Homo-oligomer: A and B are copies of this chain.
């Protein structure tokens, strides 16, 4: 029986999470019983949406939950063979036993790196795709703003909008990320909100207003966007990271949605699963053609998982933040 190290939440963070909120615990992975498989996780993902669950939802003193990619190490199930790759929600641990529920077999694209299935070609990219095209009803040539545009979701959303011939403004909080968005990605305008106040910068960057704002931030970014929305504009709300650690991010000009008849809609990827096939086909093609670029920050070993989550909140990642757990 292998030792499975796992990360527990031992204290609910107040404000920014700290290493003391987490503990590394050693457990023994049990053997698979009839109908079960033992999975070894290879990579796990950390995501901004995990922060609210630390305050409520995630149980204390248990292995935390999160997206991961694993390989079947033992199988007593007809549905899985040893060596199968499986997407799962059992991150933050090295091994786990499953009856197969919640496991999705992955057939990786041989022409793409494996990790891309954990971001641009996985639920991260799908969240951007459906959020922009289905929730946001993006039309070709529109005026678009994406916040945290260098992030895992934001960078995909911004590039899909470019593929759809839109004018695209992205915001980020670091000069190296801004440089990547300007140079490598080629957005029409890039805002470093730590250098220029977002309200002023967005006004200058959007002479034709905004038809779609893909919101990952809330708070001051949403206020700035609400001032620029064109009639019948759409705001797919993917996240509001500005309030995740501070607890409150007031929005004072929400009444603008009346005058411009704007829609805001919160969503998660499972709201548009009927598009998953289209997404996989489109995204694989865009990645291979170099039309969607990405960055990854990969920390090494389960012990780094808390640091990955904290680093993500502090913006210390470039693109998708992953933790590699095994080869």
Interface residues, chain A, CB within 8 Å of chain B? 49, 52, 218, 222, 237-240, 243, 248-252, 254-268, 271
Contacts and interface: CB of A to CB of B under 8 A. Distances in A.
A243 to B, nearest CB: 5
Number of chain copies forming the complex: 2
27 contacts: A52-B255, A237-B258, A238-B258, A239-B258, A240-B254, A240-B255, A248-B252, A249-B254, A251-B252, A251-B254, A254-B264, A256-B266, A257-B264, A257-B266, A258-B267, A259-B266, A260-B266, A261-B265, A261-B267, A261-B268, A261-B271, A262-B265, A262-B266, A263-B263, A263-B264, A264-B264, A264-B265
A11 to B, nearest CB: 22
Contacts of A266: 256-263
Given A239-B258, A249-B252, A257-B266, 14 more contacts: A52-B259, A237-B254, A237-B257, A243-B255, A248-B252, A250-B252, A251-B252, A257-B265, A258-B266, A258-B268, A260-B266, A261-B271, A262-B265, A264-B264
Contacts of A265: 257, 261-264
A262 to B, nearest CB: 5
- Counting chain B CB atoms within 10 Å of each CB, which of A240, A257, A264, A266 scores highest? A266
Contacts of A263: 263-266
